[in-house]
Amino acid sequence: MMDFKDEVDVDAVARAGLEKLGYKQEMTRKLNASQPVTLAIMAVPFGLTSPIATSLVGGGPVVMIWGWILVSVLTQTLAFSLAEICSKYPTSAGAYYWCYRLASPRTRLLASWINGWLTVVGGWMVDLSVKFDMIFLGVTAVAGIFCIFFNRLLPTVDIICACWTGLGIIVISICLLAKAAAGRRSVSFALGNFDPTFSGWTPGWSFFIGLLPWDWALNYALAYTFSAIGMIVNMAEEVHNPSEVLPKAIISSVPIGTLTGVVYLLPILLTLPDVTTMLQVSSSQPIGVMFTLIMGSRAGGLGLLFIMFGISMFCSISTSCAGSRATWAFARDKAIPFHRCLSKIGPYLEDVPVNAYALSTVIQVLLGLVYLGSSAAFNAFAGVAVMCLGASYAMPVAISLMNARRDMHDAPFNLDRFGTVINVIAVLWIMFVTVLFSMPAVIPVTTWSMNYASAMFVGFGMIGAAWYMINGQFYYRGPPILEEPTSSSGSSESVPY
């Protein structure tokens, strides 16, 4: 643990590094370690429990446990790839800044514009989906109070979140294994049972279908739990020693999340009630019924749900904070309407981009109200979040690959000779997830079960393109660069992207 003098020295170095990237220090660096923030954003138990109907439809225990491990392994390649780029460019602008620095002069302006809108929309959708899985307006209000008026306490809140999550998993696991009122399952069932008949898809595709969200309430999926690992980058300008801390946080979040998920899932699979009974729940959200059946009483089920609510509440605070920083950073570079207003910090509330946070909240509330008129429309929001964030993560990695990774040779955290293979796997995984999250969970497809994520993804893209034609092409000049890159991406016109 560093003392005050070391902390000041590290902050001075970080401030100088940020100025070299083109920005002045406006936030106070108050985060010593960002792992708790990352864990809060992932909210592993909440993220794994919410899509349980999807997992059961897709095949059951095999999808839940082995699908989780498969997703974790593939996501680790993305985490390594993002950590490498982040170590060189640790700014709250995140992936759109990376695209600008890595792409050629011919294409970097448009690439950063596209990526910035993907990042901002993805952040809004992730935050919206977390809040909407609970008491929507109430949770939005509570998260706003913490993020605006208690911003200086966010490091403490994140530590409390980590403790609540760890203790919550222990309590839930002990309670489920001790009660098991619905009966106990064998280890072979928990690790090997696979029944794809509920989905209507072929067994192989049904397994992957179990990784995506299904029905309006299931705003998380196995792949979705890790979809926000890069959002911590938007807090870069509030972290001590970001070039070292952020890469470690991104990389370690996956194995920590994986272990947390396995420990949480196994007791559920060993005490899983009848699958048909759970899938017949009218709300298509069997979490409460599952806990009630296993605990043998409604009171026991509510007790476990309260623990889950706490985890999701902490998650909402973290995603709200990160999403507002993404909005603020993009406004700072004049890419959002009313950017002068949205890029202001304070002045009465220190370190809080209040206007950017307000915009993010208003948009989420308006989109949330769509559910009142069309559950099918809201059904796509979670998929859009994964697709937008995934695409925003993949773009700088893909550009780096097209540049033969020449820009990464001097990155403080370097993947060295393994970089190309790791980057390729990460990009291919994101491409596959994008297709996967556009698919309906069950066939035959009806108006109710149709997945409109791809349509909404294209819709948001058209809005971003329209704003670029109306305003962006005249005012957006990309992130400021005080030190022009010396590698091929900034000096060569022959670079393909």
Look at 56 and 487; give whichever has higher pLDDT: 56
Q: The tokens of 487 are what?
A: 């590698």
Q: The tokens of 293 are what?
A: 């059946």
Compute and round to an integer the Cα radius of gyration of the chain: 22
Q: Please tell me the least confidently modeled range out of 28-32, 349-353, 441-445.
A: 441-445
Angle, in degrees to the nearest 10, between helices 154-179 and 136-149 = 140
Average pLDDT, integer, range 79-91: 94
Cα–Cα–Cα angle for 210, 211, 213, rounded to 5 degrees: 90
**Contact yes or no for 71/465 (Cβ under 8 A):** no
pLDDT digits (tens, 9 = 90+) for 295-318: 999 999 999 999 988 888 888 888
Give the H or E element holding residue 329: helix 298-332
Question: What count of other Cβ atoms lies within 10 Å of the Cβ of residue 179?
Answer: 16
pLDDT digits (tens, 9 = 90+) for 266-305: 999 999 998 888 877 766 678 889 999 999 999 999 999 9
Most confident range, picked from 10-14, 59-63, 97-101: 97-101
**Contact yes or no for 264/176 (Cβ under 8 A):** no
Average pLDDT, integer, range 169-174: 94
pLDDT digits (tens, 9 = 90+) for 323-336: 899 999 999 999 99
Q: Is the pLDDT of residue 117 over 90?
A: yes
Please name which of 357, 389, 426 lies closest in space to residue 230, comparing C-alpha atoms.
389
Q: The tokens of 55 are what?
A: 């997992």
pLDDT at residue 394, as a whole number: 94
Q: Please tell me the least confidently modeled range out of 67-81, 345-359, 364-378, 460-474.
A: 364-378
pLDDT at residue 337, as a whole number: 87
Q: Identify the residue whose tokens are 């994008």.
A: 434
Q: The tokens of 141 are what?
A: 């209000």
Cα separation values, 420 from 406, 427, 486, Å: 11, 11, 21
**366 CB-near residues (< 8 Å, 6+ apart):** none
pLDDT at residue 404, as a whole number: 94
Residue 151 pLDDT level (bands cut at 50, 70, 90): confident
Average pLDDT, integer, range 458-462: 84
pLDDT digits (tens, 9 = 90+) for 366-384: 877 766 545 555 556 667 8
Q: The tokens of 300 are what?
A: 């026991």
* Separation between Cα atoms, residue 427 and residue 401, nearest integer Å: 10
**Contact yes or no for 401/420 (Cβ under 8 A):** yes
Q: What residues pair up with 239 in beta bridges, in sequence order?
A: 31
Read out DSSP for 122-162? HHHHHHHHHHHTS-HHHHHHHHHHHHHHSGGGHHHHHHHHH
Please name which of 95, 254, 272 lies closest in space to residue 182, comparing C-alpha atoms.
272
Residue 134 pLDDT level (bands cut at 50, 70, 90): low
Residue 5 pLDDT level (bands cut at 50, 70, 90): very low
Look at 42 and 76; give whichever has higher pLDDT: 76
pLDDT at residue 315, as a whole number: 82
Q: Is the pLDDT of residue 358 over 90?
A: yes
Second CATH level (architecture) for the domain 31-479:
Up-down Bundle (1.20)
Residue 210 pLDDT level (bands cut at 50, 70, 90): low
Q: Please tell me the least confidently modeled range out of 35-49, 211-225, 461-475.
A: 211-225
pLDDT at residue 1, as a whole number: 46
Answer left, alpha or beta for residue 241, where phi above 0 means left and psi between -120 and 50 means alpha: left
% the chain with pLDDT above 70: 82
Read out DSSP for 393-453? HHHHHHHHHHTTTGGGTT-SS--GGGHHHHHHHHHHHHHHHHHHTTS-SSSS--TTT---H
pLDDT at residue 212, as a whole number: 56
* Separation between Cα atoms, residue 124 and residue 121, nearest integer Å: 5
Look at 12 and 374; give whichever has higher pLDDT: 12
Mean pLDDT of the chain: 82
Q: The tokens of 327 are what?
A: 């909005």
pTM for this structure? 0.86
Look at 54 and 313; give whichever has higher pLDDT: 313
* Separation between Cα atoms, residue 213 and residue 404, nearest integer Å: 36
Q: Is the pLDDT of residue 360 over 80?
A: yes
pLDDT at residue 266, as a whole number: 94
**Contact yes or no for 254/79 (Cβ under 8 A):** yes
pLDDT at residue 390, as a whole number: 87
Q: Identify the residue whose tokens are 């909005």.
A: 327
Question: What count of other Cβ atoms lies within 10 Å of the Cβ of residue 277?
Answer: 13
